[in-house]
Amino acid sequence: MSEHVRVRFAPSPTGYLHVGGARTALFNWLYARKTGGKFILRIEDTDVERSTQEAVDGLLRDMKWLGLTWDEGPEVGGPHGPYFQSQRLEIYHRYARQLVEKGAAYPCFCSEEELEAKRMKAEEEHRSVHYDGTCRRLSKEEVDRRIAAGEPHVIRVKVPEKDYILDDLVRGKVEWKAETLGDFIILRSSGMPVYNFCVVADDADMQISHVVRAEEHLTNTHRQLILYEALGIKPPVFAHASLILGEDKTKLSKRHGATSVGQYAEDGFLREAMINFLALLGWNEGTDREIYSVEELKERFSLERISKSPGVFDHAKLTWMNGQHLRALPVDQLLPMVEPLLKKAMPEETRLQNPEILRKLVELIQIKMNVLNDAVDVARSFLQAGEPENEEAAAMVATEKSQKLFAALADEFSRCEWVRDGYNAAIKAAGKIAEAKGKDLFMPIRVKITGTCHGPDLVGILDVLGRDETLKRLK
């Protein structure tokens, strides 16, 4: 396995890059990186009415955010371009001419009205509804005459009367019986090619060795195998991954929440966590391990370990996994990610302008964050003083013991050295004066200073707030 491995991701630019498409792209990318092969990005934009440049731009942006760099394709180029189907019409016509010239395809002049009548008759007679091959039997002379006369026609491929068997790397043996498919169209009368013909022509022209895609494309494979055989080209190896389901076990859709990769980026998820999560939606190396780096996935991924069982998109698990990756980040990497979020949300907070305080703040909030966007709420909970968050907290700071504690602590804080050992000793001394310890000591102090019962390490909070702000809140 080396450079002869060539895989592709071929999205249609009719909307955003959804989770299912991102997983398909990831599986192909991981396999290319594992084997030293090539990962090709091809844009299937022959649906002129629905394809948009905005969608193309969004696809490329989301692919870049995930880090799924392509070796050939838009913005990169390569020896097998163009990489937009709308720019490859001459290539499709060339392949179609080859099929007609070798007798594997033929012009069909049947009108829509004639075809509809044939469909209705087949249904009445309880026969399979597919093209009956009328124009297959036309002589070359008649075909030439009708084409010369400008008669509209499509191009159909001749479907052999034989069974087709696919040895899929994931699904195993898949069989299609003869007579289940009639001669199907590969070029419309307008000259536009149909989807399955484009796919085969492109994969053949780009020398694709492995087609890794979702299970929903399995129904297309019968036609594609017929076309490969008609062209005299060995088909690629196929691997059809199972669908991704929502938590209600139905096919993942918009109703299950954000399914756009770009939306997850905006919501503060890390690319490393997203890749980790997507990789485990249908792949497992045979262990209970759940956290992987991107480099580890590139080393361990294999097509043979793609599961037949559908993956379930569990948003809570993605959030948990993102938290694991986020907390494992060195502070130097996390700091530039959250700094603009904090400064935009709290522009009046002067402490954020101090690089040393900002770094201490990030160290403090990192352990409480699951997504990057959590930084603002976690930081705000103590950077901006507030009233006790609930009645229980309010009652806690109103007791006579708590008031005595705050007075003693303010006195101790005003005199101690403002380092961790200093204010740890001050808290201990104030606790003795107020006869408070454990929860009765630390919880009232936290509520008085931050307004909340839970949050980052109290000593760390004092580091960030500084002596003056802390004394102000105590008094």
> How many alpha carbons fall within 13 Å on the CB side of residue 205?
22
CA torsion 329-330-336-342 (nearest 10°) is 70
Using left for φ > 0, alpha for ψ between -120 and 50, and beta otherwise, residue 129 falls in: beta
Q: Is 119 exposed, middle or buried (0-12, 13-18, 19+ CB in 10 A)?
A: middle
194 secondary structure, DSSP code = P
Q: Of residues 249, 254, 439, 475, which has the active-site annotation?
A: 254
Q: Could you confirm whether 254 is annotated as catalytic? A: yes
What would the two tokens of residue 313 be?
A: 């998109």
Q: What stretches of 232-330 show up as alpha helix (H) in DSSP?
A: 261-266, 271-279, 294-300, 315-327
Q: Return the structure tokens found at 381.
A: 């909970």
128-166: b or e for each residue (b if 16 or more CB lie within 10 Å)?
A: eebbbeebeebeeeebeebeeeeeebbbbbbbeeeebeb
Q: Taking the mean position of all CA atoms in its chain, how far away is CA 123?
A: 43
Query: Measured between alpha carbons, how far is 222 from 200 in angstroms, rounded to an integer?
Result: 12
CA 12 to chain centre: 15
Burial of 386 (0-12, 13-18, 19+ CB in 10 A): exposed
Positions annotated as catalytic residues are: 254
